[in-house]
Amino acid sequence: MKKLITLLLFAVTLPLRAADAPIDSCNHRLYYTKPASVWEETLPLGNGRLGMMPDGGVLREHIVLNEISLWSGMEADYSNPDASKSLPAIRKLLFEGKNREAQELMYSSFVPKKQEADGRYGTYQTLGTLDIDFAYQSQTSVSKSESLALDGGTSRYRRCLDLRDAVAYTAFALEGVDYRREYFVSRDRDVMLVHLTAGSKGALNFSARLGRAEHGTVTVKGNALLMDGTLESGSPGREGMKYRVAMQLVSDGGEVAADPENGISLKHGQEAWLVLSATTSYAAEGTDFPGSRYAEVCDSLLKNAGVQIKNEMRMRGMAAEATALKSHAAAHRSLYDRVSLTLPSTPDDTLPTDERILRFTRQESPALAALYYNYGRYLLISSTRPGSLPPNLQGLWANSLLTPWNGDYHTNINVQMNHWPLEQAGLSELYQPLTTLMERLVPSGEATARTFYGKEAEGWVLHMMTNVWNYTAPGEHPSWGATNTGGAWLCAHLWEHYLYTQDKDYLRRIYPVLKGAARFFSSTTVEEPSHGWLVTAPTSSPENSFYVPGDSVTPVSICMGPTMDVQLLTELYTNVITAARLLGCDAEYAAKLEADLKKFPPMQISKEGYLQEWLEDYKEAEVHHRHVSHLYGLHPGNLISPTATPALADACRMTLNRRGDGGTGWSRAWKVNFWARLGDGNRAWKLFKSLLHPAIDLQTGRHGSGTFPNLFCSHPPFQIDGNYGGAAGIGEMLLQSHEGFVNLLPALPDSWNCGNFRGMRVRGGASIDLHWKNGKATEAAVTALVPGEFTIKMPAGIARAKVETGEETHEYTGETFPLNLKKGETGRITFFSF
């Protein structure tokens, strides 16, 4: 213990140093002066399939490992014949205004058919942990308390995540020796890498162990460790998903040994690599997961990158690092560097990230929004990739076996929000995992349609959650599980990708999915008795409840035609009609949808002035409910806007004021987007500040809503949707294109008075660069990704625009002006204010 206290730690050089870094680089990295003390301080790394989160411990490094397909449970049939049998009675009760009775009947009948002790839905689980115990010259074994004393006891320690290169670093010095670790999840080699170095020969001493709370058996193979396991299938007698993690140590000198108990150890070394690869037995069409090739992939795990690293080290020594890191960073940057954003900075921006977040509540810095935006893009790139799965509720980072909400795909806001910033941030190809997931859901959704909604139900349906096992049935409790527009909402995303890419081949491919979703509703909507409007029934407005007239005691959720359903179906039908026209097919079916659209209920404004959430002006049970489902039409939908539908936009404003500016992490993020669509930059910025509220109470250690020290969004607990929703909100404040024109700086807060962005995409297929000063656009460049005529709205405070394309120059005044561009051509715009 005494020896330990005498250890000296002093500053070491990191690639990015706070004090002397150019300000903009502060918005491309997270850094800290202490190891993480809770998981929500650790730094997320990932390559869209594999993930790891190192805590940067000095004496013990604890790294949580993930693989995005690692789920317990299994594919299963939840058909409940009672559901379709009870449907006429449920609808009759709803027609009679007996929502509570309808709901009670649903509790017993309109639920997924389960087995006893049913765990088939499963849970996304952590892959395991890697613990590295270090020994330093002056001590060979250290107790836990000593380790804490050292870990927390230095101000010169540095831990950093570089968002540009997707690499994390830990660096410190002990007794005159520099120690440094680099961590990255290689995109090109598909392995997790920890590179460890000491400043003097023989000073690197550690042992590295793999572990898992259950279903993990560690064995030794040569100098490598293997961890194998089989998860619960949730159904007795059936085997669950298998996985393997393989870890090898590649070192330049020193003595290497391995045993299952102590792991792989290195004594008297100076430089080493821990190379980890992992696989699961998951199989799914449209993905790269091995499935039946599992055994073969397991066999090859050790061969892969470890051998490459070994050879590189043998040949070039330290150059191995440069090679592996360089090729990884280049692959990451090919996505990350597509966009940049600069916002006004303050001296606070050079502070460690946790302090930056704490200071932000007292002293705002717009540049923190730029960091948040970049972090959102970084997390997206790290949590999904073509051939993989979409980001789940935790992206791909889970640190337990019982991941909150099973770490699944909630489809009543969450998985959608995970995709909001994607297209505008130029990450179009990251839509692929969601697209293939939806294609896989169709057969299961067709069966669910038939068994729950009767023989006349056509097409496919997805309720409010799904998983890697193609779950489409209602949730187990109808109060929240009856929403059946999850698939319709996801179809808006399929369409969105078309709008940004204008790719007709893609449209042809996804058209059957869109049409199948529409067919479900065109065959199951019913005419409600009061107005004869065509509505969904039974359903719910996520996940809010209301009081039926005459009963102010029992909140009820089950209803007909809530506003969100009407908005979603309006967009779905309109998109199918447009797609059918573009593809030259299905004229007759499109005509039926046209006719149905005319019979949908209108959006209604309550007598108190807010937008009605339900068909009737019910009193909501929770005025501040986190979901604001009926404002779907404002965002992310496109049915309400201050210019096109001013009265409805006013009603939305009223609704938002009534709901308040609080809520769970993702709810605050959504509200940033709402206010951006309403053109109120200052209010959007206020909501962003509420999203950035420090999530950990420093006095009690308790977790609330807001943002964790590692910038993860807190529901609580950590849920990644708020990160993506917040990033999307920042994008919406700067650039919108949902109304058929390019809207530059539609919701600029006063404090973002100058700045620039590059590479943000708009619907129609163009990339936009913009500079602004004194709150007004000064210059823009519009580059066509597909040929087309782009309409630009004259930005606020601008009287005249000079547009140069090729040889031609035009000057425009007025509200909008056109820009005709060939593919790859750029139009340069100079703006002149009044």
> What residues make contact with ligand FUC under the rule CB under 6 A?
393, 405, 410, 412, 414, 543, 626-627, 664, 666, 715, 719
> Which residue lies nearer to ligand FUC by CB, 542 or 746?
542
The CB-of-723 to ligand FUC minimum distance in angstroms stands at: 13
Residue 260's Cβ-count burial label (10 Å; 0-12, 13-18, 19+) is middle
- Are 45 and 53 in contact by the 8 Å Cβ rule? The answer is yes
Amino acid at 723: N
Is residue 470 classed as helix, strand or coil in its secondary structure?
Answer: coil
Which residue blocks in 52-165 are alpha helix, DSSP H?
81-95, 99-109, 144-152
Beta bridge pairs of residue 183: 168, 194
Q: How many CA atoms lie within 13 A of 768 on its CB side?
A: 33
- Nearer Cβ to ligand FUC (406/743): 406
Minimum distance of ligand FUC from residue 413's CB (angstroms): 6
The smaller minimum CB distance to ligand FUC, of residues 707 and 783, is found at: 707
Identify the CA nearest to 171 among candidates 198, 148, 141.
198
Nearer to ligand FUC, 664 or 710 (CB): 664
Rounded distance between C-alpha atoms, residue 520 and residue 498, angstroms? 22
Residue 420 CB, nearest approach to ligand FUC (Å): 15
Q: Is-contact 268 202, C-beta < 8 A? A: yes
Secondary structure tally for the chain: helices H, strands E: 20, 35
Whole-number minimum distance, CB 465 to ligand FUC, in Å? 8
Between 73 and 681, CB nearer to ligand FUC: 73
For residue 799, count other CB atoms closer than 10 A to its CB: 11
Residue with Cβ nearer ligand FUC (393 or 696): 393
- CA nearest to 629, candidates 540, 678, 564: 564
Helical (H) or strand (E) element with 193: strand 192-198
Sign of CA dihedral 194, 195, 197, 202: positive
Check: CB of residue 733 under 8 Å from CB of residue 747.
yes
149 in Cβ contact with 3 (< 8 Å)? no
Residue 71 contacts residue 281 (beta carbons within 8 Å): no
| Residue 664 CB, nearest approach to ligand FUC (Å) | 5
CB of 627 to ligand FUC, least distance (A): 6
Q: Which is nearer to ligand FUC, 252 or 476 (CB)?
A: 476
In 3D space, the residue among 770, 764, 767 whose CA is nearest the CA of residue 789 turns out to be: 764
The reply to whether omega before 538 is within 30° of 0 (cis) is: yes
Q: Tell me whether residue 270 or residue 414 sits nearer to ligand FUC (CB atom).
A: 414
- Cα torsion through 296, 301, 307, 309, rounded to 10: 150
Min separation Cβ 728 and ligand FUC, Å: 16
Q: Are 339 and 758 contacting, i.e. CB atoms less than 8 angstroms apart? A: yes
First to last CA, the chain: 71
- Locus of tokens 């918005």: 27
Q: How far apart are CA 124 and CA 408, in angstroms?
A: 7
Q: How far is the CB of 574 from ligand FUC (least distance, A)?
A: 27
DSSP three-state, residue 535: strand
Residues 428-455 as b/e (b if ≥16 CB within 10 A, e otherwise) read: bebbbbbbbbbbbbbebbbbbbbbbbee
Which C-beta is closer to ligand FUC: that of 412 or that of 557?
Answer: 412
CB of 669 to ligand FUC, least distance (A): 11
* Residue whose CB is less far from ligand FUC, 493 or 627: 627
Nearer to ligand FUC, 42 or 416 (CB): 416
Instruction: Extract the tokens encoding 53.
Output: 């989160």
Q: Is residue 393 within 8 Å of residue 720, measured between CB atoms?
A: yes
Q: Are 497 and 435 in contact (CB under 8 A)?
A: yes
Residue 710 beta carbon to ligand FUC: minimum distance, rounded to whole angstroms = 19
Whole-number Å distance between alpha carbons of 626 and 465:
17
Give least dist CB 124 to ligand FUC, A: 12
Q: How far is the CB of 214 from ligand FUC (least distance, A)?
A: 24
* Distance between CA atoms of residues 94 and 318, nearest Å: 71
The distance of closest approach from Cβ of residue 549 to ligand FUC in the complex, given in angstroms and rounded to an integer, is: 26
Of 487 and 516, nearer to ligand FUC (C-beta) is: 487
Least distance (Å) from ligand FUC to the CB of residue 795? 36
| Complex with ligand FUC: residue 485 or 719, whichever CB lies closer | 719
Pick 203 or 415: Cβ nearer ligand FUC: 415
- Cite the DSSP H helix spans in 384-503: 414-417, 432-453, 478-481, 486-501
Please choose, from the candidates 192, 209, 181, 196, the residue with its C-alpha nearest in 3D space to the C-alpha of residue 56.
181
Smallest gap from Cβ 410 to ligand FUC, in A, equals 4
Q: Which amino acid is at 504?
A: K
Counting every residue written for the chain, the total comes to: 834
- Cβ proximity to ligand FUC, 62 vs 410, nearer residue: 410
Shorter beta-carbon distance to ligand FUC: residue 103 or 170? 103
In angstroms, give the least distance from the CB of 625 to ligand FUC. Answer: 9
Instruction: Work out how close the CB of 666 gets to ligand FUC at its nearest, in angstroms, rounded to a whole number.
Output: 6
Nearest residue (CB) to ligand FUC, 28 versus 715: 715
Cβ of 827: how many Cβ atoms within 10 Å?
22
Q: Rounded to whole angstroms, how far apart are CA atoms 104 and 123? A: 28
Q: How far is the CB of 280 from ligand FUC (least distance, A)?
A: 23
How many CB atoms sit inside 10 A of residue 374's CB?
Answer: 22
Quick one: 147 or 403, whose CB is closer to ligand FUC?
Answer: 403
